[in-house]
Chain A
Amino acid sequence: MDTWRSKIRLCILLAVVSTAVVRAQTVNTCVDCHSALDAPFQVTQDQFSQDIHAQKGLTCASCHGGDPSKADDSAMSKAAGFRGHIARKDIPTLCGRCHSDAVYMRQYNPSLRTDQYSQYLTSVHGKLLTKGDYKVAVCTDCHSVHDIRPPRDSRSRVHPLNIAETCGHCHADAAYMKGYAIPTSQLASYNSSVHHEALVVRGDLSAPTCSTCHGNHGAAPPGVGTVQNVCSTCHVFQAQLFESSPHKAPFEAASLPGCVTCHSNHAIHHPSDAMLGTGPESICTNCHTEGDGGYKGALEIQHDLAGLANSLQGAVQILDRAESAGMEVSQARTEQEQARDSLTKARVTIHSFDPAKVSQDIQAGLKLAAQANQAGVAALKERGYRRKGLGLSLIAILAVVIGLRLYIRKIEGSAV
């Protein structure tokens, strides 16, 4: 009996001691005081618990030094290594101390890159910081501080959906950007762009935002000669066609920045066929004048595209009519979609600026659109045939019903 009692006592003692040890390891008195302070010194437990570093077991002391296990002023003593407030100029170095250490970072996230600091030093932000401009962005400006979330977290300021607003926080602030000689309209322009629509409206997280073209830690504007390299990371075929097009050499000679010359940079809108040709929205006429080969080619390409677009629209309308009449036209719809694909392909082939190449896609599309149109016509003809058949059948059925009624009257009349 005594043996059992002593075993139970030992178990209770072990439980108490181990709880005390665990508590001593995780205790963080910094937040106890700082949660009661006003901004900018305030850091609440709720805020800090959201921080990826806190979740991985790091404490305030990991960045600020000191001894968080002490509940008095000795926690912030020099003897305990307390560094206090981190100056803006020191933030990249401080973060880089761990984030550049591949061996250290491996234990938390083996797939996380460790070149952020070296990239930052190549960025416009990093270069200016080195020169003593402390207004430029440092790590905490984009990633926040004390509640740093991983980029995949939609509440993170560097989540794809939030990056434009994060960059725009400084770059759209004319007063803050005064003295840098760069425009502050990028955010407004981007928000009107097709890329913003894809990202925010359609929720396509692979759609480009600021960092996709400018880089993130090594953020810098792409040079004039390398714009197409940036665009081609997504728009591969357009870039390939442009590379071998007759526009390549003259654009380079005139220092025109490839894609941006026609499509703009931040305010990239849905391209339309009206951008071709020689109409009021034409971009071609910015350089080409009546009588030159480019002017003629632009007209030819626009005419071809309009022809296929009209033909496709005709097919869609007739198939819509047939479908609303209940006809089965799903196979014709496939041809219609293939014709639409040809139109899309032709719109890509435009970047070769070769009317003959564009015409090849247009001809393939016209053939498919004609087939779809023909199927629509046949479906509507079939609908007419069915209705005639229905009319004749109903007449025959009516005749039988009347005949039956007369016959019933006859046999019941004769029975009476």
Chain B
Amino acid sequence: MLTSLRRWLDERFGWADLTAPLREKTVPLHNLTYWYFLGGITLFLFAIQVCTGILLLLYYRPSANEAFESVQYIMTRVQFGWLVRSIHSWAANLMIFTAFCHMFSVLFLRSYRQPRELTWVTGVVLLFLAMGFGFSGYLLPWNTLAFFATKVGTEIPGQIPLIGRPVMIFLRGGEEVTGATLTRFFGFHVAVLPGITTLLILAHLALIQRLGMSVPPKVEAQWRANPAQAREMRFFPNFLLRELMAWYIALGALGALAALAPWGLGTKAEPFAPAPAGIRPEWYFLFMFQTLKLIPAKIGPLDGEIVGILIFGLAGFLWLLLPFFERGGRGRSQRWIFGAGVFALAYMASMTVYGYLAK
């Protein structure tokens, strides 16, 4: 049956030629091979996001009057609606977490080095887009926490000199966070961001397919010294089956989180009510939020918050271009990049923990 289907496809589309690269693709086999699974798990979680997102779209209504009630309806009345929404929310958070892990693994294994600079660039942009998904999706249930977090979150870019205010008005669809903001964020979340993300994922995958998996420099040196030690496994089916195992485990974790800790809904947003205490963004923005809270109001003649935003903007831009700062061989530039990675990881982790512990 499968053979005849393959033959049918082959006669019409040249299936064998199309899938030849997959059959020929290999994955280096060494004691750090398991880090290669992180990208695949992130991709799997993105696919889960797409599927559950489409299911949520069947019932969700993107207006200030109906958004909260429609999510409440999904959580209480729709068959398995609670499961779909909880998986969507948990998978979003896990996806950003695995994307961060993937990025730092690539950094510390130096997989970004020539000729894979563009793979790094597309990957970092994809992480930024994933955070954009998180930010835009957070508002959609139109609950109190999301409303005020979005208010604070959209105020931050509003501080940027010259372009800040137009950017804030563009994001909000007006001066304040209103139903117009919700509709706008919904548009970003289900149309703009998925479109750009899909194109970039294709580019990212094409680059990986074209350039192959990177071998960590230490392992590469050992293999060069002793070519007999070099080992690899076939991508299909060996690596893919292992990846499938990881996906199943991720699915189990998602199911467990959704069943044991369903994603809460909170209370409906009241734009005229005072902001509740302890408003903070999702965990992946917390290190920035906490930093901006700690920065003094004035740094010299400049506004502290503006300085903070500009520093984060510059850091993000430099992070995107990180591979281009590395010179060939083992030099100072590599140590600088490694040090920057360790510092960034430690800073983000400690500020996030501090953000949760701080009152």
Contacts and interface: CB of A to CB of B under 8 A. Distances in A.
A397 B249 contact: yes
A394 B262 contact: no
A386 B264 CA distance: 16
B259 A389 contact: yes
A68 B85 CA distance: 77
Interface residues of A, number: 21
Interface string B155-184: 000000000000000000000000000000
A327 B265 CA distance: 10
B271 interface: no
Interface string B248-289: 110110011001111011010000000000000000000000
A104 interface: no
The B interface, classified by DSSP as helix, strand, loop or mixed, is: helix
B262 A326 contact: yes
Interface string B233-249: 00001100110110011
Most chain A Cβ neighbours within 10 Å, of B75, B76, B82, B244: B76
B238 A327 contact: no
Given A331-B72, A401-B249, A394 B256 contact: yes
Contact of B76 (A331, A394, A407, A412): A331
A404 B245 contact: yes
Contacts of A328: 72, 75-76, 82, 262, 264-265
A329 to B, nearest CB: 8
A263 interface: no
A384 to B, nearest CB: 11
Contacts, number: 54
Contacts of B261: 326
A408 B238 contact: yes
Q: How large is the interface on B (under 10, 10 to 19, 20 to 34, 35 or more residues)?
A: 20 to 34
Nearest to A383: B259
B259 A398 contact: no
Interface in A396-416: 397-398, 400-401, 404-405, 407-408, 411-412
A331 B265 CA distance: 12
A400 to B, nearest CB: 5
Contact of B238 (A331, A394, A400, A411): A411
A397 B241 contact: no
Interface of A: 326-328, 330-331, 386-387, 389-390, 393-394, 397-398, 400-401, 404-405, 407-408, 411-412
12 contacts: A327-B262, A328-B76, A331-B72, A387-B259, A390-B256, A394-B252, A394-B255, A397-B251, A398-B252, A400-B248, A405-B245, A407-B241
Given A326-B262, A393-B252, A400-B248, 8 more contacts: A326-B261, A328-B82, A328-B265, A394-B252, A397-B249, A404-B248, A407-B241, A412-B238
